[in-house]
Amino acid sequence: MTSLDDCFEALRAPQRRRLLLALLERNPQDDTPVVPGGVTAAEGNDERALRYHHVHLPKLEAYGFVDWDREAGELRRGPAFEDVRPLLELLRDELDVLADEDR
């Protein structure tokens, strides 16, 4: 079982939150992030895209929240994904409530 501190650390970065929320909705996912301006990591040398592949994905993989097939460029829910699922569902539900309040 993953500690609550590890779950919060994984969710601390917006890039990791977005990725885990996407996996909550659809599994598997492509590992190519879209960075501002519509440029993908494969098309550009954007520092954020590099951090995604060299910091964020490895961290999520180390926690066991994702399985990352680097050769296929695919992410799947990892063996510890269920440990972080309740927090992800809470975030998703609260984001929906906040979005409804803005309308």
* pLDDT in the model for residue 39: 38
CA 13, CA 76: separation in Å to the nearest integer?
19
Strand partners, 75: 29, 68
- pLDDT (tens digit, 9 = 90+) per residue, 34-91? 444 443 445 445 777 788 889 999 999 999 999 998 888 888 999 999 999 999 999 9
Contact yes or no for 16/59 (Cβ under 8 A): yes
Domain boundaries, the chain: 1-65
Kindly tell me the sign of the dihedral angle through the C-alpha atoms of 31, 35, 39, 42: negative
- For the record, the structure tokens of 101 come out as 């309040």
Which residue carries 């996912």 as its tokens? 29
- pLDDT (tens digit, 9 = 90+) per residue, 81-94? 999 999 999 999 98
